[in-house]
Structure 1
Amino acid sequence: MKDRLTIVVVEKDRERALLIMESLRAAGDHDIQVIGSESGLSRAISARNPDIVLVDMSSPSRDMLEELTLASAPMDRPVAIFVDKDDEGLAGAAIEAGVSAYVVDGLRPARLRPIMEAAIARFHMFTQMRKELAATKQALEERKIIDRAKGLLMKARGLDEEKAYALLRRTAMDQGKRVAEVAEALVTAAGLLG
């Protein structure tokens, strides 16, 4: 966890918000901002662009979770929710909404720092997994296009697979492009002509 975080605390109760701010200040020199209302929550969070969002409430509603989904999806930030009691199915809904930590039995000052660290670490882990998944999907799609282009060259020019790929690679090098780009152009052109 970096030394200075921008933290948004969502808490309606002023006294409780002050207690949380004191606990956060004891945990480090952080830029702490409090949002006291659930209405327009996604806009308020996005405007502040925090490193992490801490939500403290007795039991969040599904509307609140939708607001958090809106708030965390565009900018991708860790969100930790502290609830007093567990409502059946709400933990799962919170995780699906992108919440990094769902803590039952409220926000206790002594647990705050390790929970924030865990939420941030979990968020970064899932972010990395999403990037790797996207890269894998992209590579698979490129592989499919390259295979289709090789098939077109094999049929049109009577080449074997190795020579078809060598032709794609040589053309890509000559044009300063990636093999997948040349393959995609070939597949598109063949689609137009066929």
Structure 2
Amino acid sequence: MLSVLVIDESRSRAAEICAGLALAGYQVAAILADSANLTAEVEKLQPDVILIDTESPSRDTLENLAVVHKDMPRPVVIFTQEDGQNAIRDAVRAGVSAYIVDGLDPKRIKPIVDVARARFEDTQAMRRELEEVSRKLSDRKLVDKAKGILMKARGLDEEAAYHAMRKLAMERGQNMARVARDVIDMARVLL
């Protein structure tokens, strides 16, 4: 069962939200009046989703969400009356998956949470893919630099330098980037 951390300064609105979550088949992990201890609460409760109902998301709330998004990312839904472009942009930058303006209808909670979760999963997949591409590019730059060092130091052509590094990687059971780092480190010591 999906667990949801609810943040709402109004106890009566929080009760409505909890009723809507129960009807949607979700479990309420906890109800917080504000986001002051958000990181600690998320770490302790491990909710699947964070749902915030507020007139306007405060700077503190967005900063706390950004910290959670960096360290313990999860879908975040904000229901608010604030429809300004800057508020929306700031919320998205803080990791908000769904920013719903003009109130909360408990009957709409399930589809909104489902959309937020799907968007969050897509965003996380893109982030992982970007990190992988960045790592590969960084590794490629290391290998190219190490090849250049071998070409200069041993008078090898590019293909021979690559094969020498490949052979060393296979002998050591390491990847090419690790061998390239070793070559670069040794060149700093010896040259």
Amino acid at match of 2:46: N
Alignment partner of 1:58 is 2:55: yes
- Could you tell me which runs of 5 or more consecutive residues in structure 1 were left unpaired when the two chains were aligned: none
Cα distance in 2 between the residues matched to 1:148 and 1:115: 49
- Cross-structure match for 1:110: 107
Correspondence for 2:188 among 179, 187, 191: 191
Cα distance in 2 between the residues matched to 1:22 and 1:86: 26
Measure how far apart 1:13 and its partner are.
1.4
Cα distance in 2 between the residues matched to 1:69 and 1:154: 46
72 and 156 in structure 1: CA distance in 2 versus 1, 3 angstrom threshold: closer
Q: How does 1:1-194 map to 2 (within 5 A)?
A: 4-194=1-191
160 and 38 in structure 1: CA distance in 2 versus 1, 3 angstrom threshold: closer
Measure how far apart 1:76 and its partner are.
0.7
Amino acid at match of 1:19: E
CA RMSD of superposed structures (Å): 1.5
After TM superposition, where is structure 1 displaced by more than 4 Å over at least 4 residues in a row?
none
The answer as to whether partners of 1:69 and 1:98 remain within 8 angstroms in 2 is: yes
Measure how far apart 1:83 and its partner are.
0.3
Aligned-partner SS, 1:81: strand
Cα distance in 1 between the residues matched to 2:75 and 2:26: 19
Aligned-partner SS, 1:89: helix
- Could you tell me which runs of 5 or more consecutive residues in structure 2 were left unpaired when the two chains were aligned: none
The answer as to whether partners of 2:147 and 2:158 remain within 8 angstroms in 1 is: yes
Please list the CA deviations of residues 37-87 of structure 1 after superposition, one character each: whole Å capped at 9, or x if unmatched: 343233223321211000001112122211222233211111110002424
Amino acid at match of 1:82: F
The answer as to whether partners of 1:7 and 1:54 remain within 8 angstroms in 2 is: yes
The answer as to whether partners of 1:83 and 1:104 remain within 8 angstroms in 2 is: yes
